[in-house]
Amino acid sequence: MTDRSEADTVAYTVADRIAWVKFNRPEKRNCMSPKLNRRMKQVLEELEFRDDVGVLVLTGEGSAWTAGMDLQEYFRETEAQGLGAIRKSQRESYGWFERLRWYEKPTIAMINGWCFGGGYGPLFGCDIAIAADDAQFGLSEINWGILPGGGASKVAQELMPFRKAMYHAMMGETLSGKQAEAQGLITEAVPADQLHTRVLEIAHVLLKKDPHALRATKWTMRRVGDMTYDNALEYQIRAQEALHSFGGAAARKEATKQFLDEKTFKPGLSTFDATKVKG
């Protein structure tokens, strides 16, 4: 199949409170076209507030996660339509990257193959990134005469040590999953045949956490990165106060009771039983 409908560019299933979302253009190594970008934003919005979804996993169909933006459809065909079409296409892609960064639920990138260029946007958007050892990461833009845009340069600079990021962007060489892990681009790399199992393990742990605390934690971790210490401290105080209004006070009281009174868990070793939270 070479001309998928817009609805078919992204596939998803929901099982046991995990939404498995897939880039679904394997014949194009899951390159992101305007159709795919529009559909991805729709899928994210469809799943975000579903009660049967507690964790979202983003992966790719076939041998790639995503090879980046589609050169034919995203660049050449869009540019032929003029500046208005270019801006519209940019807003559609950057829009779902942003939605992913501030998603209501925990997100995991399950990187099963190639992750190139524009793929660094959703890579950064996911909270946790687990890759196969033999996955390939690359900013190949320099090899065809442009800079790594669409946020990709910032992602590399944000996640990797400066000298590693500079080399990565300027040389156009690929990194294996293990190299990407060593340089901070991803959370962890595992053998390909263990990838799904490892992601499932992480998802199950996240599903046991209080969802309001998870949301507040992930948003805080993203916000405080460019703050001074004093501003970050103030933000965290206000974020904790806001968390209480989302049910965080009840969760904290229940967790404290389980630790101090019932002695059923130790915070450094396990998670309190969030199913007992009332209110």
Helix, coil or strand: residue 183: coil
Q: What is the mean pLDDT of residues 190-214?
A: 96
pLDDT digit string, tens, across residues 10-36: 999 999 999 999 999 999 999 999 899
Q: What does the pLDDT read at residue 190?
A: 98
Q: Looking at the predicted structure, is the pLDDT value of residue 195 above 50?
A: yes
Q: What does the pLDDT read at residue 50?
A: 97
pLDDT band at residue 1 using 50, 70 and 90 as cut-offs: very low
Starting at the edge strand that comes first in sequence, how are the strands of the sheet with 64-66 ordered?
64-66, 114-116, 136-138, 175-176
Q: Closest by alpha carbon to 112, among 58, 34, 181?
A: 58
pLDDT digit string, tens, across residues 78-103: 778 888 877 887 787 888 999 999 99
Question: Which residues lie below 8 Å from residue 135, measured CB to CB, with a gap of 6+?
Answer: 65, 111, 112, 113, 114, 115, 176, 177, 180, 189
Q: How far apart are CA 46 and CA 55, in angstroms?
A: 14
Q: Looking at the predicted structure, is the pLDDT value of residue 249 above 60?
A: no
More confident residue, 151 or 55: 55
Q: What is the mean pLDDT of residues 55-74?
A: 91
Q: What does the pLDDT read at residue 133?
A: 97
Q: If you search the block for the tokens 């049910």, which residue do you land on?
A: 247
Q: Looking at the predicted structure, is the pLDDT value of residue 58 above 60?
A: yes
For CA atoms 249, 255, 257, 260, give the dihedral sign: negative
pLDDT digit string, tens, across residues 118-167: 999 999 999 999 999 999 999 988 888 888 888 899 999 999 999 999 99
pTM here?
Answer: 0.88
Q: What is the mean pLDDT of residues 253-270?
A: 59
Q: What does the pLDDT read at residue 66?
A: 96
